[in-house]
């Protein structure tokens, strides 16, 4: 039985509180010693690198007592040891540790990033699943962080993990499922949702891009048209020349882009800026659902909307079609 893991898995230590409680700093370890069972047994608790471990010693024979960790041991005495040991852990947890919403470092980082960017906090609605945190916008889910055994995703490992479920374009889902760290959505529609493991396999920046897209499906736009930013790389295609030859060009159609939507084109290095503004004339060009025709309506200097400025509006990187933040839209349409 791993009492420590169950009690402390969503907690982080407050080291000043540990010292006030009676822990002693020994090198890099915080150690606490107390007696149980009328002083006949000694409990040693260690906090090291944020993790809690503990041992019990029978003072009469000066040996470690381990029966309390054996599932099959259910006698009156061993249950008393378990109860007294558990009460010590619970008391330390309540007085010396800070509660976090999730278990893994990445899940908690992502939670903080979502709070900073959107002001959204997790909602825990399921009494039987205290680690399942829902993120909503306008009453609609756009992310769900949950803990589960990894075997439910890969059929192999029984390790406990955390994942985040996100709603994405189905074509993007099919592409991501070929990459490490992405799985068919657990307990959600597998066509429109995907599960992403939160163990640092996927960088935070990439995760936030995907979260942006998922949240965009919940946004009630106040803009007259849907506005998107899409990337283009001048190393592979000369857009400047293409627009000089024809104001209307055929381009790959990103997720949910429709006729009359506004497209801003972000040009990669050496520009690293939004250069073009277009309007979508039609989709399903040549009978292909992933093609669209768009018409150039404005060209910007690279100095007007460089990446440095876009970051201030929440556009940290542009690898696919993304909604333009409303504040940036107002800036671009002054």
Q: Are 320 and 254 in contact (CB under 8 A)?
A: yes
Give the per-residue pLDDT at 157. Answer: 84
Give the per-residue pLDDT at 149. Answer: 93
* Whether the predicted pLDDT of 1 surpasses 80: no
Which three-class secondary structure state does DSSP give residue 267? Answer: strand
Residue carrying structure tokens 């029978």: 58
Task: Give dist(CA 268, CA 309) in Å, integer.
Answer: 15
Tokens of 249: 């060009």
Identify any residues that bridge with 55 across adjacent strands, giving them in sequence order: 44
Task: Give dist(CA 171, CA 183) in Å, integer.
Answer: 14
The mean pLDDT of 250-260, rounded to a whole number, is 87
Burial level of 169, CB count in 10 A (0-12/13-18/19+)? middle
Q: Could you state, in order of their start, the residue ranges of all structural domains in the chain?
A: 3-98, 105-216, 227-332
Residue carrying structure tokens 């149980």: 36
Nearest in space to 33 (alpha carbons), one of 25, 23, 48, 18? 23
pLDDT tens, residue by residue, 121-161? 999 988 889 899 999 988 889 999 999 999 999 888 888 99
pLDDT tens, residue by residue, 159-190? 899 999 999 988 899 999 999 999 999 989 99
Q: Are 192 and 170 in contact (CB under 8 A)?
A: yes
Q: Are 319 and 307 in contact (CB under 8 A)?
A: no
Residue carrying structure tokens 């309007």: 279
Tokens of 107: 């899940």
Give the per-residue pLDDT at 333. Answer: 78
Tokens of 155: 């059929």
Task: Give dist(CA 192, CA 178) in Å, integer.
Answer: 16
Q: What is the mean pLDDT of the chain?
A: 92
* Whether the predicted pLDDT of 197 surpasses 90: yes
Task: Give dist(CA 143, CA 111) in Å, integer.
Answer: 10
More confident position, 220 or 79:
79
Class of CATH domain 227-332: alpha beta
pLDDT tens, residue by residue, 72-107? 899 999 999 999 999 999 999 999 999 999 999 999
The mean pLDDT of 306-320, rounded to a whole number, is 88
Which three-class secondary structure state does DSSP give residue 242? Answer: helix
* Whether the predicted pLDDT of 220 surpasses 70: no
Burial level of 207, CB count in 10 A (0-12/13-18/19+)? buried
* Whether the predicted pLDDT of 334 surpasses 90: no
Residue 260 CB-half CA count within 13 A: 3
pLDDT tens, residue by residue, 19-74? 999 999 999 999 999 999 999 999 999 999 999 999 999 999 999 999 999 988 99
pTM of the model: 0.57
Give the per-residue pLDDT at 203. Answer: 96
* Whether the predicted pLDDT of 224 surpasses 50: no
More confident position, 150 or 333:
150
* Whether the predicted pLDDT of 217 surpasses 80: yes
- CATH architecture entry for 105-216: Alpha-Beta Complex (3.90)
Residue carrying structure tokens 């290095």: 269
Task: Give dist(CA 196, CA 182) in Å, integer.
Answer: 5
Give the per-residue pLDDT at 221. Answer: 54
Q: Percent of the chain at pLDDT above 70? A: 98
Q: DSSP strand E in 105-247: where?
A: 133-137, 140-149, 160-167, 182-184, 193-197, 227-232
């Amino acid at each position: 039985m791993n009492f420590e893991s169950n009690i402390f898995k969503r907690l982080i230590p407050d080291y000043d509180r540990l010292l006030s409680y009676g822990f002693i700093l020994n090198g890099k370890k915080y150690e606490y010693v107390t007696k149980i069972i009328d002083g006949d047994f000694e409990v040693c608790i260690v906090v090291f690198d944020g993790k809690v471990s503990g041992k019990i010693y029978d003072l009469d024979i000066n040996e470690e007592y381990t029966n309390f960790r054996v599932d099959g041991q259910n006698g009156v005495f061993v249950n008393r040891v378990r109860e007294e040991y558990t009460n010590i852990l619970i008391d330390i947890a309540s007085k010396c540790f800070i509660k976090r919403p999730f278990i893994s470092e990445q899940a908690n980082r992502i939670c903080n990033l979502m709070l900073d960017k959107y002001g959204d906090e997790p909602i825990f609605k399921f009494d039987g699943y205290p680690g399942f945190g829902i993120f909503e916008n306008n009453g609609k889910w756009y992310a769900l962080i949950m803990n589960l055994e990894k075997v439910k995703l890969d059929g192999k490992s029984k390790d406990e993990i955390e994942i985040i479920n996100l709603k994405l374009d189905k074509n993007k889902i099919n592409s991501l499922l070929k990459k490490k760290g992405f799985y068919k959505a657990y307990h959600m529609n597998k066509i429109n949702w995907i599960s992403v493991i939160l163990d640092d396999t996927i960088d935070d920046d990439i995760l936030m891009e995907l979260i942006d897209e998922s949240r965009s499906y919940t946004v009630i736009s106040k803009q007259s048209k849907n506005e998107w930013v899409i990337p283009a790389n001048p190393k592979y295609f000369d857009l400047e020349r293409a627009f000089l030859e024809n104001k209307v060009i055929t381009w790959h159609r990103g997720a949910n882009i429709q006729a009359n939507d506004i497209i801003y084109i972000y040009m990669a290095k050496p520009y690293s800026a939004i250069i073009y503004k277009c309007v979508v004339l039609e989709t399903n060009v040549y009978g292909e659902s992933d093609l669209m025709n768009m018409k150039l309506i404005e060209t910007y200097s690279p100095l007007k909307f460089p990446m440095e400025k876009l970051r201030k509006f929440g556009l940290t990187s542009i690898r696919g079609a993304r909604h333009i933040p409303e504040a940036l839209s107002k800036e671009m349409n002054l």
